[in-house]
Chain A
Amino acid sequence: MHAKVPNGKAALMLNALDPSMGYDFWRQLTFRTFTGSGSVTQHRSRSNGAGRLWTDSSTSSYNAEMKHLMLRHAFKFVDRVVFLVGPQNHRSQRALEKLRAVRVASRSDAGGRESFVYQIIATEYGRRGTGAD
């Protein structure tokens, strides 16, 4: 459920939990950037207060700042943001490392698709600053 917004704009939407996702999330916050480069999705978990953030691999100049804006917003609601990145997507892995995300695990989804799990903790993010290069 995403509202349609003009190109070049960003929108924030609040969605109800989609049971088909199979996660114990009671609320899902969805960001979708209409910059022609992709989307970011964040969830909040009732059980552990963790957030999950999916992002694309765009490396445009405004993308890093967009991610910082989203992170700062996400940390108003959650203590931890988790990124899932394909193991072959070094472009995004490097981008995340520049955001000071730390690789903590790997996982496979129900379809067997593997991902690296990167994490940023709110307190550490605040202590380190944005980490922008």
Chain B
Amino acid sequence: LIGLDCNMGFISFDATVGSNHRAVGHDLPPGQDLAEELLRRVEALGYSIVERVTQHEGYGWSFTVKTDDSQPIWCMLQLSDEWLLITHRHLPLLRKLFGAPALSAGHAKFDSALVGLLASLPFVSNVRWFRTHDDLRHGRTGQP
């Protein structure tokens, strides 16, 4: 798994909205309204939108914003046992394998802003950030 998640951040949280927002008669994953609400608030923080909310495969909703260092960050929201927002900055494979053990400063700042944003929302609780897949699986929280 070397390098696989070096350019990702993982934010889990509980929310009292979103999980019932399914379009009647369609097999859409939950979370579209929640993703759009998050994107609106991210935009209000000053981040520019690269791509608005679109469905990601059969299980999530994604959007892309540009961070302070002009790097696009792809965000994908999905509902498992709790809500999970993955932030992902694309890196070339060689950079992932050999040169990027940590999040970029812009990515870390963006994740930190997201954690703060989510924690401030009245319908969101239990916001936690994880550095890697394994940290997420084992509940080892961190700070961006």
Q: Report which of B4, B27, B58, B60 forms a contact with A87, defined as CB distance below 8 A.
A: B4
Q: Report which of A38, A91, A112 forms a contact with B80, defined as CB distance below 8 A.
A: A91
A111 to chain B, nearest CB (A): 12
B36 at the interface (CB under 8 A from A): no
One of B45-53, B81-89, B110-118 at the interface: B81-89
Q: Which residues of A contact B80 (CB under 8 A)?
A: 90-91, 93-94
- With A87-B5, A114-B4 as known contacts, state yes or no: A38 contacts B81, CB within 8 Å: no
Q: What is the number of contacts between chain A and chain B, taking CB atoms within 8 Å?
A: 43
Total chain A interface residues with beta-carbon distance under 8 A: 18
Q: Which residues of B contact A36 (CB under 8 A)?
A: 27
B79 adjacent to A37 (CB under 8 Å): no
A88 adjacent to B58 (CB under 8 Å): no
Contact size range, B: 20 to 34
A91 to chain B, nearest CB (A): 4
B136 adjacent to A106 (CB under 8 Å): no
Q: Which residues of B contact A92 (CB under 8 A)?
A: 59
Q: Report which of A88, A91, A106 forms a contact with B79, defined as CB distance below 8 A.
A: A91
A91 adjacent to B60 (CB under 8 Å): yes
B88 closest partner in A (C-beta): A88
B57 adjacent to A57 (CB under 8 Å): yes
How far is A10 from B36 in the complex, measured between Cα atoms in Å? 35
A108 to chain B, nearest CB (A): 9
Q: Which residues of B contact A123 (CB under 8 A)?
A: none
A106 adjacent to B59 (CB under 8 Å): no
A37 adjacent to B57 (CB under 8 Å): no
Query: Which residues of B line the A interface, CB within 8 A?
Result: 1, 4-5, 8, 27, 29, 57-60, 76, 78-81, 84, 86, 88, 93, 133, 136
Query: Which residues of A line the B interface, CB within 8 A?
Result: 36-38, 56-58, 86-94, 106, 112, 114
